[in-house]
């Protein structure tokens, strides 16, 4: 298999941009990434997005490519709910590795601020099973709350221990100039914040954000020619679980997290202990904790406890979510997986403008649904 | 680049199936394709679909894979409006060619019959520009009508000549057991049918259909081992044009049709004159005629006239749309591009159960939007 490198990254700020359009955000990220790559021209524009249909817009590859002066290039949208970004990077990887393209841009974008909170909540639930889950009136937060309740009960995890996750995220995100919520919080703040879906509280939950991120992928030959700091995609893997959680074998573990990580590590010929820095998908505190364990960074049932004991912060190995994660950086749904790749690439290059980790090996894991579609990517300097 | 073969095809009937669900249709096609492949197990399930969001369902790869007993496999959705199917086959091709997967299923599915006609019309317009076209009140039919009006004026094409296209489609589709509209029509029927968006009439328009189609793609090694009749994907190419038609350089030609065909022919080292059988995307008569020219089967301005003179039917080279095309087989939106590949593969294998062409080289072209996202695939026995 041919080697594939990330040679350019670009991000818009994450937040609520009432005055900006989807294509405007996408263009900012794409132009920054092209510029960062040494001005490579993408042959493919692969777009990741989940909910533009709510704004009556599909066909985004054509829309964004044309807006950015790339009429005549190739492209399409990749969707895997909140895991769209990671899946799109996997597609970009395969386009380069197959030889179909030499230069591929993957652009993740989501623009939700013009919608009401109920509309967004409804849209996010498209990731669940519309025939066999949603008719019972459960929300996406409600589904994750079931996982959190079960996990806390099974492993005797205290509310204070679960709260350490969002506190660490905000500590990291405070230094990230791209982050949506740049504020410090305490365990007490989390525990006193309003209940969203018991036991999930407001400060367990990521904000829903606008934002766009882009990466430029290319072959080894071009990577070395145009770029001084190419970062290798050493491993990549995706896995699917059931859409509905009622038919899962286990609720406190995500099969797709384990499988996708195993596939990525196998391809990279690396293991969890080699990872210096990781960006995990913490749409809710419980997702961060469960995937910390499923990827192999913590023993089962110990994720929240270890974070509460002070692990996974700067100086430790691995450092988790120096960006602030979904909790603080924010969650521009279909773009999140691409943000993660941008952030880890910048960590390995040493130019991330927030909490700096450095290191040689990084990992991203991006989740769609309640663990139903997960992509893990391993990056190496 | 490694060679990629189609070793299994499967289709549901095309029509309106009020009693069936999206996953049920997808499962029928996928199981048929797996069976046809000699029981290969897909590592990836790539789904193409445009409008399941209207039924509050995304995350289709997880939904369909789990329903078909493929929990733990990999996958995601690929969307390129009505061109989703062709784009998804391209992604499946790259997954196999890159070595990321040995066996990939591409499943196109669309289920629209539970929606009203205005809802479907609104959904199809998601392929157009929601910011700069739709606010003016134009429909997807209206946009194509502008192309048809301009084409007929520029090349002095008579209404009778344009009508030869749908008559030929229904002549072919009459023999296709999978087709949605199995009835013969005359030029007079077309001319007397109601106006949809002047000059497009009802019998210039494809029906909107439910349906699912699947293909199993694999490497050369496995293709030869498990299958007596593998069909090679000799060439494949995608191209993007502007989403809005107001900024096009030309209205009577689709840049993306030309570019994607050129890319596919280049990869295949073949030319239009080598093609024995083609399935083109005739959502409206005008699309069929324009792409007949842009792919290279007819000189510019001569497409409709040549069809009216009796060209492109059985005995000619190439034979166009022996399935009946979108006009008669129907247009299960995100599945159409996969149907085309199934049909051409069966033609080359000699087991298509309708109008039989045979031959060695086949072509499919699948269009998203008003020519804004087009994938061309060249198949070889």
- 3-state SS, one letter per residue, for chain A: CCCEEEEEEEECCCECCCCCCHHHHHHHHHHHHHHHCCCCCCCEEEEECCCHHHHCCCCHHHHHHHHCCCCCCEEEEEEECECHHHHHHHHHHHHHHCCCCCEEEEEEEECCCCCCHHHHHHHHHHHCCCCCCHHHCCCHHHHHHHHHHHHHHHCCCCHHHHHHHHHHHHHHHCCCCCCCCCCCCCHHHHHHCCEEECCEEHHHECCECEEEEEEEEEEHHHHHHHCCCCEEEEEEEEEECCCCCCCCCCCCCCHHHHHHHHHHHHHHCCCHHHCCEEECCCCEHHHHHHHHHHHCCCCCCCHHHHHHCCCCCCCCCCEECCCCHHHHCCECHHHHHHHHHHHHHHHHHCCCCCCCCCCCEEEEEEEECCCCEEEEEEEEC
Question: Region B267-294: what's the mean pLDDT?
Answer: 98
The chain A residue lying nearest B258, using CA atoms, is A72
What distance in Å separates the CA atoms of residue B149 and residue B161, rounded to the nearest whole number?
Answer: 13
Q: Tell me which of A48, A143, A243 to substitute to probe the interface with B (most B C-beta atoms closer than 10 Å).
A: A243
Q: What is the pLDDT of residue B325?
A: 98
**B219 membership: H or E segment, kind and range:** strand B211-219
Cα A18 to chain centroid, rounded: 23
- Chain B residues with CB-CB distance to A241 below 8 A: 62, 66, 71-72
How many Cβ pairs within 8 Å bridge chains A and B?
Answer: 230
Q: Is B333 near chain A, with CB under 8 Å?
A: no
Q: Which residue has the tokens 């406890």?
A: A305
Domain for residue B47, yes or no?
A: yes
Using only the alpha carbons of chain A, give its radius of gyration. Answer: 19
Read off the tokens for B343. Answer: 């049909």
Domain for residue A121, yes or no?
A: no
Asked if residue B230 lies in contact with residue B7, where contact means CB atoms within 8 angstroms, the answer is: yes
Number of domains in chain A: 2
Neighbours of B309 (CB within 10 A): 11
Q: Which residues pair with A214 in a beta bridge?
A: A10, A107
Asked if residue A21 lies in contact with residue A203, where contact means CB atoms within 8 angstroms, the answer is: no
Q: Tell me which of B27, B81, B90, B94 to substitute to probe the interface with A (most A C-beta atoms closer than 10 Å).
A: B94
- Chain A residues with CB-CB distance to B89 below 8 A: none
Read off the tokens for A18. Answer: 């009432």
Same domain, residue pair A159 and A82? no
C-alpha dihedral sign at B24, B25, B27, B31: positive
Neighbours of A295 (CB within 10 A): 27
Same domain, residue pair B150 and B175? yes
Task: Tell me if A70 and B99 make a contact (CB, 8 A cut-off).
Answer: no
Q: Is A39 near chain B, with CB under 8 Å?
A: no
Same domain, residue pair A196 and A214? no
Same domain, residue pair A243 and A344? yes
Q: Is B100 near chain A, with CB under 8 Å?
A: yes
Task: Tell me if A66 and B240 make a contact (CB, 8 A cut-off).
Answer: yes
Domain for residue B130, yes or no?
A: no
- Chain A residues with CB-CB distance to B115 below 8 A: none
Question: Region B242-255: what's the mean pLDDT?
Answer: 94
Q: Is A80 near chain B, with CB under 8 Å?
A: yes
Q: What is the pLDDT of residue B111?
A: 97
Helices (H), chain B: 22-36, 60-67, 84-98, 117-124, 140-154, 159-173, 187-192, 220-226, 255-268, 285-295, 303-308, 325-328, 336-349
Same domain, residue pair B171 and B150? yes
Residue B68 annotated as catalytic: no
The chain B residue lying nearest A82, using CA atoms, is B59
Asked if residue B168 lies in contact with residue B304, where contact means CB atoms within 8 angstroms, the answer is: no
Enumerate residues 6+ apart whose C-beta is below 8 A from B68: B26, B27, B30, B31, B45
- DSSP assignment of B294-363, as one string? HHTSS-TT-HHHHHHTTTTSTTSSSEE-TT-HHHHT-B-GGGHHHHHHHHHHHHHHT--SSS----SEEE
- DSSP code of residue B274: G
The alpha carbon of residue B260 is apart from the nearest alpha carbon of chain A, in Å, by 8
Q: Which residue has the tokens 């949809």?
A: B196
Q: Is A372 near chain B, with CB under 8 Å?
A: yes
Domain for residue B129, yes or no?
A: no
Q: Which residue has the tokens 């599915």?
A: B109
For helices B84-98 and A84-97, the axis angle rounded to 10 degrees is: 60
Q: What's the half-sphere exposure (Cβ side, CA atoms, 13 Å) at B177?
A: 7
Same domain, residue pair B214 and B239? no
What distance in Å separates the CA atoms of residue A306 and residue A345, rounded to the nearest whole number?
Answer: 26
Same domain, residue pair B170 and B313? yes
Question: Region B40-47: what's the mean pLDDT?
Answer: 98
Domain for residue B133, yes or no?
A: no
Residue B180 annotated as catalytic: no
Query: How many residues are listed for chain A in this entry?
Result: 381
The alpha carbon of residue B73 is apart from the nearest alpha carbon of chain A, in Å, by 6
Q: Is A119 near chain B, with CB under 8 Å?
A: no
Q: What is the pLDDT of residue B24?
A: 98
What distance in Å separates the CA atoms of residue B213 and residue B33, rounded to the nearest whole number?
Answer: 8
| A:249-288 residues touching chain B, CB 8 A cutoff | 255-256, 259-260, 263
Q: A202 exposed, middle or buried (CB, 10 Å; 0-12, 13-18, 19+)? A: middle
What distance in Å separates the CA atoms of residue A76 and residue B106, rounded to the nearest whole number?
Answer: 15
Q: What is the pLDDT of residue A227?
A: 83
Task: Tell me if A56 and B129 make a contact (CB, 8 A cut-off).
Answer: no
What distance in Å separates the CA atoms of residue B373 and residue B376, rounded to the nearest whole number?
Answer: 10
Query: Of A72, A83, A240, which is closest to B255 when you measure between CB atoms?
Result: A72
Task: Tell me if B72 and A134 make a contact (CB, 8 A cut-off).
Answer: no
Q: A344 exposed, middle or buried (CB, 10 Å; 0-12, 13-18, 19+)? A: buried
Query: Of A51, A88, A243, which is closest to B66 when you measure between CB atoms?
Result: A243
Same domain, residue pair B278 and B335? yes
Cα B245 to chain centroid, rounded: 21
The alpha carbon of residue A374 is apart from the nearest alpha carbon of chain B, in Å, by 9
Q: Which residue has the tokens 């080292």?
A: B269
- Chain A residues with CB-CB distance to B97 below 8 A: 94, 98-100
Neighbours of B153 (CB within 10 A): 11
Q: Tell me which of B76, B86, B106 to substitute to probe the interface with A (most A C-beta atoms closer than 10 Å).
A: B76
Task: Tell me if B74 and A128 make a contact (CB, 8 A cut-off).
Answer: no
Q: Is the pLDDT assigned to residue B17 strictly greater than 80?
A: yes
Q: What is the pLDDT of residue A232?
A: 98
Domain region containing B52: 4-116+208-231
Read off the tokens for A33. Answer: 């990434």
Asked if residue A217 lies in contact with residue A232, where contact means CB atoms within 8 angstroms, the answer is: no
Task: Tell me if B100 and A236 make a contact (CB, 8 A cut-off).
Answer: yes
Q: What is the pLDDT of residue A46?
A: 98
Same domain, residue pair A91 and A217? yes
Task: Tell me if B72 and A97 make a contact (CB, 8 A cut-off).
Answer: no
Verify cis geometry, omega within 30 degrees of 0, for the bond prior to A199.
yes
Strongest mean pLDDT among B116-120, B139-143, B377-381: B377-381
Identified catalytic residue from B68, B82, B206, B342? B82
Verify cis geometry, omega within 30 degrees of 0, for the bond prior to A361.
no
Same domain, residue pair B202 and B340? yes
CATH label of the domain that carries residue B363:
3.40.47.10
Phi, psi of B12 (to 5 degrees): -85, 165
Q: Is B235 near chain A, with CB under 8 Å?
A: no
- DSSP code of residue B128: S
Asked if residue B84 lies in contact with residue B51, where contact means CB atoms within 8 angstroms, the answer is: no
What distance in Å separates the CA atoms of residue A142 and residue A133, rounded to the nearest whole number?
Answer: 11
- Chain B residues with CB-CB distance to A65 below 8 A: 240
pLDDT, mean of each 10-residue run, chain A (381 residues): 94 97 98 97 98 96 98 98 98 98 98 93 93 90 96 97 98 98 98 97 97 97 90 98 94 97 98 98 98 98 98 97 98 98 98 96 98 98 94
- Chain B residues with CB-CB distance to A70 below 8 A: 240
Enumerate residues 6+ apart whose C-beta is below 8 A from B150: B251, B252
Domain boundary among A197, A231, A265: A231
The alpha carbon of residue A80 is apart from the nearest alpha carbon of chain B, in Å, by 5
Q: Is B139 near chain A, with CB under 8 Å?
A: no
Task: Output the pTM of the full model.
Answer: 0.98
What distance in Å separates the CA atoms of residue B166 and residue B192, rounded to the nearest whole number?
Answer: 13
Confidence of residue B156 (pLDDT cuts 50, 70, 90): very high
The alpha carbon of residue B308 is apart from the nearest alpha carbon of chain A, in Å, by 32
Question: Region B58-70: what's the mean pLDDT?
Answer: 98
Of residues A147 and B228, which shows the higher confidence score? A147
**B48 membership: H or E segment, kind and range:** strand B44-48
Query: How many residues are listed for chain B in this entry?
Result: 381
Domain for residue B123, yes or no?
A: no
Same domain, residue pair B35 and B155? no
**Is B37 strand, coil or helix?**
coil
Nearest in space to B104 (alpha carbons), one of B75, B83, B84: B75
Same domain, residue pair A304 and A193? yes
Q: Is A139 near chain B, with CB under 8 Å?
A: no
Q: Which residue has the tokens 């589709």?
A: B173
Enumerate residues 6+ apart whose C-beta is below 8 A from A47: A26, A60, A61, A64, A75, A76, A77, A78, A88, A106, A107, A108, A109
Domain for residue B217, yes or no?
A: yes
Identified catalytic residue from A68, A82, A206, A342? A82
Domain boundary among B196, B231, B266: B231
The chain A residue lying nearest B3, using CA atoms, is A98
Query: Of B62, B91, B128, which is closest to A243 when you measure between CB atoms?
Result: B62
Q: What is the pLDDT of residue A180?
A: 98
Domain for residue A122, yes or no?
A: no
């Amino acid at each position: 298999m041919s080697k594939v490198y990330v040679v350019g990254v670009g991000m818009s700020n994450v937040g609520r941009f009432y005055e900006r359009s989807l294509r405007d955000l996408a263009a900012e990220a794409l132009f920054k990434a092209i510029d960062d790559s040494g001005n490579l021209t993408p042959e493919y524009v692969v777009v990741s997005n989940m909910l533009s249909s709510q704004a009556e817009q599909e066909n985004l590859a054509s829309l964004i490519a044309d807006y950015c002066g790339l009429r005549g290039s190739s492209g399409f949208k990749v969707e895997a709910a909140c895991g769209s970004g990671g899946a799109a990077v996997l597609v970009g990887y395969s386009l380069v590795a197959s030889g179909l393209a030499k230069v591929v841009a993957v652009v993740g974008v989501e623009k939700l601020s013009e919608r009401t909170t109920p509309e967004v909540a409804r849209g996010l639930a498209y990731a669940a099973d519309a025939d066999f889950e949603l008719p019972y009136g459960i929300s996406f937060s409600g589904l994750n709350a079931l996982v959190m309740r079960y996990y806390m009960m099974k492993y005797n995890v205290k509310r204070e221990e679960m709260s350490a996750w969002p506190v660490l995220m905000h500590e990291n995100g405070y230094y990230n100039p791209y982050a949506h919520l740049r504020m410090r919080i305490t365990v007490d703040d989390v525990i006193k914040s309003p209940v969203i879906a018991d036991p999930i509280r407001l400060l367990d939950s990521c904000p829903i954000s606008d934002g766009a991120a882009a990466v430029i992928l290319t072959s080894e030959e071009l990577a070395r020619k145009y770029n001084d700091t190419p970062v290798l995609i050493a491993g990549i893997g995706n896995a699917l679980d059931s859409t509905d959680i009622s038919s899962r074998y286990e609720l406190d573990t995500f099969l797709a997290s384990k499988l996708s990580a195993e596939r990525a590590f196998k391809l990279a010929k690396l293991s969890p202990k080699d990872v210096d820095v990781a960006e995990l998908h913490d749409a809710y505190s419980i997702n961060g904790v469960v995937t910390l364990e499923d990827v192999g960074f913590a023993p089962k049932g110990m994720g929240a406890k270890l974070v509460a004991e002070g692990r996974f912060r700067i100086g430790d190995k691995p450092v988790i979510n120096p960006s602030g994660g979904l909790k603080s950086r924010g969650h521009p749904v279909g773009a999140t997986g691409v943000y993660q790749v941008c952030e880890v690439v910048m960590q390995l290059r040493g130019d991330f403008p927030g909490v700096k980790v450095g290191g040689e090996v990084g990992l991203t894991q991006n989740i769609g649904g309640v663990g139903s579609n997960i992509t893990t990517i391993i990056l190496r300097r």
